[in-house]
Amino acid sequence: MRLLSIIRKQKLKDNETRCLILGLDNAGKSTIVNSLLPESQRTDEITPTVGFKIHSLQLQDKLISLWDVGGQSTLRPFWDNYFDRTDVLVWVVDASETFRLHESQRELQELLQNDNIPQVIVALNKVDLTAADQLSATETALKEVVGPGASFVRCSGLSGQGLFALKEALARISYI
């Protein structure tokens, strides 16, 4: 077993999960993170993320650290640096923006070349703005990139719809 998997396993045994939230700028990453947090820790104003922000979320018996990393193209070359201690990657896509779907697919495909990439959850965000057939088309397009192992969650960071399913998917992460 590679050293990295041993470290990951130990951390998960300690009930600590490190979750990296990535996706194109404006996909809704920070909005989702904010809505996942307990009400007392939320902010009313989300500004574009410069660099990264870390938040902690207690889910059942697990402590999840959420790494919200800026998605602007100038920051993307640095994404790799975050992988080695990450347990789960949440890839956020703005499902309403069909014209950026290819860009999202391409960036995710490039990320997945990295050997250290952990388990993947794809969050199809902005369901409140997206027609059902478009949601399915976006899901199909991203499934082609991530393969059968990833989970998919349809959500809205703004309304909170689907975030319970995202929490459940995060709580299920394990290396058994």
Ligand X SMILES: Nc1nc2c(ncn2[C@@H]2O[C@H](COP(=O)(O)OP(=O)(O)O)[C@@H](O)[C@H]2O)c(=O)[nH]1
Residues involved in catalysis: 72
Chain centroid to CA 133: 23
Mark residues 140-169: x for contact with ligand X by CB under 6 A, - for none.
----------------xxx-----------
Q: Which stretch binds ligand X (CB under 6 A): 8-16, 78-86, 122-130, 137-145?
A: 122-130
The DSSP annotation for the chain comes to --HHHHHHHHHHHTTEEEEEEEESTTSSHHHHHHHHS-GGG--S---PPPSEEEEEEEETTEEEEEEEE--STTTGGGGGGGGGG-SEEEEEEETT-GGGHHHHHHHHHHHTTSTT--EEEEEEE-GGGS-HHHHHHHHHHHHHHH-TT-EEEE--TTT-TTHHHHHHHHHT----
Kindly identify the residues of this chain, within the stretch 3-22, that bind ligand X according to CB under 6 A.
none
Q: Which is nearer to ligand X, 62 or 167 (CB)?
A: 167
Q: Is 11 one of the annotated binding-site residues?
A: no
Position of minimal CB gap to ligand X: 28
Kindly identify the residues of this chain, within the stretch 61-120, that bind ligand X according to CB under 6 A.
71
Interaction of residue 86 with Mg ion, rule CB under 5 A: no
What is the smallest separation between the CB atom of 12 and ligand X, expressed in angstroms?
27
Chain contacts with ligand X (rule: CB under 6 A): 23, 25-31, 46, 48-49, 71, 125-126, 128-129, 156-158
Chain contacts with Mg ion (rule: CB under 5 A): 29-30, 49
Binding site for Mg(2+): which residues?
30, 49
Binding site: which residues?
23-30, 49, 71, 125-128
